[in-house]
Structure 1
């Protein structure tokens, strides 16, 4: 029997609680898994902790100068664990990571749905190529350790916001491309996500006349997608061209475009888009992944 989903009121209550949990509590209670035990491929700087920026606009904690990429693990209660895992990639223009609003808070919400969530601290700033190394390695590590979290290795997906949406799209279309040289047995595993959610994704329309970014090669074995954006978001064309390319290639895709909501809202209350996409995503996940 599948675990019972929380009702809308319970979900709202849970989300309200999440936003009052200090960041320090996450750091104290959640396991950190570093992606690279030795030298970090493509990294010239020595490993060190990420740097928190002075910019806290919008009550957001932002990290930068990531040289030792990591996964922060959020486990659901055992009674609701549904056997699926999701890597959460925060946005920040490939300059910073909005680590709480588009990372920890989202992971805690996913836990209420029964998902094991992994917040990815990928390399920034200005290391898009290396960020792909990081997410591909992260998928392989989770598959390798799936039994540890009671996960089905064939139910590992990605969820990204803004630049994190770009990274999630790249991971979902470039899994046949070895972005870095294989290091160990973990790298013999597939880096293909089993599903992908893009929330206000950016940088997917860098082709001619704002067409799909050439790097994103749409093939028949690409996983199903859920895409959410708003018409008043300057990056909304990314969602449209990605959905169109997927549809043209008969890849299952669900696209939602609200009239307003802007960009960078996460799932914080007070924004219509932020209050809309989680419920839609929950339904999609239930129908596509868990059924």
Structure 2
């Protein structure tokens, strides 16, 4: 999906015992398009089958200045404002509808893939920034995720073979950054293992609970598609991690 000028969200109710947990799903696509099936609807089918309310976000793209083809890498110096505004607004709307959707407003997290993984890091570190004018009462609520999951995130590190974190993110990592789950493959040739490693080290330094899973093989943009490789077990790892941080227990 390309040329999204109007953001939307789609709610997937739990298909089994409701946990009270909600996850905003942020597909990837290089801020040029959105992988709404591979990293969207398929993810929501999985999450809703585990008792989690899934909120699929279709955010605005393309999103200046995120033009990955540009060698000047302008995205390392500016926020992806339209996309990040959409994520913040969605998190607030989920909390505003917590009673209606039978959600615990303190169990609202994010999961993102590739460019969506970078948005996860932005949402996790810029939640105190007021990026758009107040629309309604929902905008009085917090946009801080209670937990964050970034799968093969992109453009967090400044260079290959370096764990220097993008300064846009590094300057906002604090102890208030939510618990985070990171996953990436060594042979990811679209983004790189250093993206997860750089963010992991910054979170660790700040005292944020963080879990990192790194694999030798698996490439990029695999979503939930079947694979014989060890990385194919990542959904079970996420479920176990959510349990350890108290997000899959009683409402």
TM-score (norm 2): 0.87
Q: 1:240 aligns with which of 197, 203, 207?
A: 197
Partners of 2:144 and 2:134 in 1: CA distance: 16
Residue equivalent to 1:162:
114
Residue equivalent to 1:20:
none
5 Å-filtered alignment, 1:2-151, equals 63-77=1-15, 79-127=16-64, 128-151=80-103
Question: Does the 8 Å CA contact 1:96/1:125 hold for their aligned counterparts?
Answer: yes
SS in 2 for 1:98: coil
What are the superposed Cα offsets for residues 216-258 of structure 1, whole Å, 9 maximum, x if unpaired?
1101111100001111113221100000100011100000001
* Structure label with greater radius of gyration: 1
Q: How much has 1:276 moved relative to structure 2?
A: 1.7
Residue equivalent to 2:74:
none
Residue equivalent to 1:228:
183
Q: 1:188 to 1:103 in 2, by over 3 A?
A: same
TM-score (norm 1): 0.75
What are the superposed Cα offsets for residues 130-161 of structure 1, whole Å, 9 maximum, x if unpaired?
00000000000000001111100000000000
Partners of 2:23 and 2:97 in 1: CA distance: 14
SS in 2 for 1:117: strand
> How many corresponding residue pairs?
228
2:142 maps to 1:190: yes
Question: Does the 8 Å CA contact 1:267/1:274 hold for their aligned counterparts?
Answer: no
- Over aligned residue pairs, what C-alpha RMSD do you find? 1.5
Partners of 2:3 and 2:121 in 1: CA distance: 23
Partners of 1:87 and 1:182 in 2: CA distance: 21
Q: Larger RCO: Structure 1 or Structure 2 (Cα < 8 Å, ≥ 6 residues apart)?
A: 2
> What are structure 2's unaligned runs of at least 5 residues?
65-79
Structure 1 segments of 4+ aligned residues over 6 angstroms from their partners: none
